[in-house]
Chain A
Amino acid sequence: MVKGLAVTLSNLMRKPFTTSYPEQRIRQHPRFRGEEFTWYEERCTGCASCAKYCPLGIIKIVTSPSETAPLQGDKYRLETFDIELQRCMFCGLCVEACPYDALFMGSGFEEGQYKRTDLVITIDRLRQAEKNPSTWFRPQLEGMDYRPGEGRPLGWREVGRENWRWHQHEKAGMRLAAGRDDSEGEA
């Protein structure tokens, strides 16, 4: 019994293990699967793999034929890309299913809202959101010493896997070529 008293006393002298949350934050690991999905429109082909692979079916994608499609391999124009966050369980299977590295998990975890409808991430929100992709299921991000949510958003050009040799054989990059043309045009 005395041993137990000694244990608790020694813990009294120790620094607390917990932190005071809103002031002191523990950094999440870059792989953290959180809210604030990051979506790169330049990379998305509208294939809806994510919508099909979502176990809950909470991703809604509506597309229409793109005007510029035949020229640049860009077949679809996205009209709707809704993620119903209130039902999302952050399993990350949508990210796993995306063949074009267009969808990423985010790093946030504090998105409380008063209304359920406010929790639906629409395509406009996805477009405007700051791009802080999580490195979950995206090994190409892990080597680059990048931590999401630390003031360095990543552009769509940085997040791809196309410079990986094994990836050249994959289908990814269809739209990429078109994107490259676009940017050259702008430049």
Chain B
Amino acid sequence: MTIRTEPMTVNVGPQHPSTHGVFRVRITFDGEDIVEVEPVLGYLHRGSEKLAEERNYVQVVTLTDRLDYTSSMINNQAYCLAVEQLLGIEPPPRGKYLRTLAAELQRIASHLIAVGFFVQELGAFGTPLMYTFRSRERILDLFEMLCGARVTVSYMRPGGVFADTPADFWPALEQFLEDFEGELEEIENLLLSNEILMVRTRGVSPLPADVAINCSVSGPVLRASGVNWDWRKMAPYDAYDQVEFDIPVGQNGDNYDRFWVRMQEVRQSLRIVRQCVAQIEPGPVRQELPLVLRAAPGAEAYGRVEASKGELGFFLVSDGGVSPYRCKIRSPSLINLTITEHLLLGWKLADMIVSLGSVDINMGEVDR
């Protein structure tokens, strides 16, 4: 006997509590099973690319803060790399190390958010989120020392970082690194071996490596599918060729692997931060440049970094003016969203939220 069921279309978002911002998916359910997915984007479009064309090269740095507001440092870094390529300049070594340090701290903060919200979406009532935010707060305090702001940092400039560290930054960083070890262990104890979390995430929404590559996915999502691909290793920028670190690679590309890869990357980032602290030497942090930069007409540059969510790239074209003629942003979250359908179809309502959380999108970056 078959029971005739009627599909039910539900509009999840843009104000759903756990869609990571104003992301809307129209989903058709058969009971609790997902049979059709249609993502709808664009609720947070601010025209960053167009705005960049009307600002000079330094002013655009402030726009990049607001792309992926959970990893502003890395956005700054990507943009500054692009401008440096465009102008053919290079920051001094201390500036490079400071950038690497800040970017890795930001990666830790971003992954902590991703993990915290991921488990929150699994239904843990805020506890893992609070624990991860506790550590993230400390990182933001460090950012406040570095550059006076916690989220919208605007720390880096083409040619280095805007200023040297204040005197009390280094002891605070040491203290943080010391405390974070224990806090991270606590989070891992709470999450990594939790049976409920494993049951919920193991084998759910697997992403095969070939699909991941075909969809041009990058970042932890790609690495969780078993592809060893990290721009910090492939084309080292800033000081990444001076430090040692491993790339955690998953096996199945399921939700647990994505979560696991992020947890491991936090450890690797910690390693990089330690090495930066050990290797950094006094010196200038910023190449002396005029306030208003000009590039040669017709120059093009593509600066990319391994952001916390994937490959973040800025493609700049100059017409000789004070501002970029064209600024194209390759944002990882948008391109990682192309696998939405692949992840969700055939899974249940409860898995939908978790799978979206495991991709770790950020709408500020998706809609730009």
- A contacts, CB < 8 Å to B: 1, 3-4, 6-8, 10-11, 17, 28-33, 49, 53, 55, 89-93, 96-97, 105, 134-137, 139, 142
Tell me which of B154, B186, B195 contacts A92 (CB under 8 A).
B154
Residues of B within 8 A of A139 (CB): 163-164
- A53-B134 Cα distance, complex, nearest whole Å: 36
Inter-chain contact B189/A97, CB cutoff 8 Å: no
- Secondary structure call for the B interface: helix
Closest chain A residue to B194, Cβ basis: A4
Closest chain A residue to B191, Cβ basis: A4
Tell me which of B60, B152, B164, B189 contacts A7 (CB under 8 A).
B189
Inter-chain contact A97/B291, CB cutoff 8 Å: yes
Is B177 close to A, CB under 8 A?
Answer: no
B89-146, CB < 8 A from A: 127, 131, 134, 137, 141, 144-146
B141-185, CB < 8 A from A: 141, 144-149, 152, 154, 162-164, 166-168
- B contacts, CB < 8 Å to A: 55, 58-63, 65, 127, 131, 134, 137, 141, 144-149, 152, 154, 162-164, 166-168, 186, 189-191, 193-196, 291
Of all A-B residue pairs in the complex, the 7 with the closest CB atoms, nearest first, are: A33-B148, A55-B59, A31-B148, A91-B62, A136-B148, A7-B190, A29-B145
Residues of A within 8 A of B65 (CB): 91
- Closest CB-CB distance, A144 to chain B, in whole Å? 12
Residues of A within 8 A of B191 (CB): 4
Residues of B within 8 A of A31 (CB): 144-148, 166
Inter-chain contact A55/B166, CB cutoff 8 Å: no
Tell me which of B134, B141, B196 contacts A1 (CB under 8 A).
B196
**A17-B134, A55-B55, A93-B62 given; A29·B166 CB < 8 A:** yes
Inter-chain contact A33/B164, CB cutoff 8 Å: no
Closest chain A residue to B127, Cβ basis: A8
- A49-B58 Cα distance, complex, nearest whole Å: 14
- Closest CB-CB distance, B175 to chain A, in whole Å? 14
Residues of B within 8 A of A49 (CB): 291
Residues of B within 8 A of A30 (CB): 166
Inter-chain contact B194/A1, CB cutoff 8 Å: yes
Inter-chain contact B152/A53, CB cutoff 8 Å: no
Residues of A within 8 A of B154 (CB): 91-93
Inter-chain contact B167/A142, CB cutoff 8 Å: yes
Tell me which of B141, B152, B190 contacts A3 (CB under 8 A).
B190
Identify 19 residue pairs between A and B in the complex whose beta-carbon atoms are under 8 Å apart, listed by A's number.
A1-B194, A10-B186, A11-B131, A17-B134, A17-B137, A28-B144, A30-B166, A31-B166, A32-B144, A33-B149, A53-B58, A55-B59, A91-B65, A92-B154, A93-B62, A96-B162, A137-B162, A137-B163, A142-B167
Inter-chain contact B152/A90, CB cutoff 8 Å: yes
**A1-B196, A7-B189 given; A55·B63 CB < 8 A:** yes
- A68-B279 Cα distance, complex, nearest whole Å: 55
**A1-B195, A3-B190 given; A55·B62 CB < 8 A:** yes
Residues of B within 8 A of A6 (CB): 189
Closest chain B residue to A34, Cβ basis: B148
**Most chain B beta-carbon neighbours within 10 Å: one of A49, A53, A55, A92:** A55
Residues of B within 8 A of A17 (CB): 134, 137
Residues of A within 8 A of B61 (CB): 91
Closest chain B residue to A32, Cβ basis: B148
- A137-B162 Cα distance, complex, nearest whole Å: 8
**Most chain B beta-carbon neighbours within 10 Å: one of A93, A136, A137:** A93
Inter-chain contact A3/B189, CB cutoff 8 Å: yes
- Closest CB-CB distance, A102 to chain B, in whole Å? 16
Residues of A within 8 A of B194 (CB): 1, 3-4
- A48-B330 Cα distance, complex, nearest whole Å: 35
Residues of A within 8 A of B59 (CB): 53, 55, 93
- Closest CB-CB distance, B368 to chain A, in whole Å? 16
- Closest CB-CB distance, A94 to chain B, in whole Å? 11
- A96-B286 Cα distance, complex, nearest whole Å: 13
- A30-B147 Cα distance, complex, nearest whole Å: 10
Residues of A within 8 A of B137 (CB): 17
- Closest CB-CB distance, A136 to chain B, in whole Å? 4
Residues of B within 8 A of A96 (CB): 162, 291
**A3-B189, A7-B189 given; A90·B149 CB < 8 A:** yes
Residues of B within 8 A of A1 (CB): 194-196
Closest chain B residue to A1, Cβ basis: B195
- Closest CB-CB distance, A171 to chain B, in whole Å? 13
- Closest CB-CB distance, A61 to chain B, in whole Å? 17
- Closest CB-CB distance, B324 to chain A, in whole Å? 14
- A89-B65 Cα distance, complex, nearest whole Å: 11
- A137-B291 Cα distance, complex, nearest whole Å: 14
Contacts A53-B58, A53-B291 supplied; 5 other A-B pairs, CB < 8 Å:
A6-B189, A7-B189, A29-B141, A31-B144, A136-B147
- A7-B188 Cα distance, complex, nearest whole Å: 10
- A8-B164 Cα distance, complex, nearest whole Å: 40
Inter-chain contact A89/B152, CB cutoff 8 Å: yes
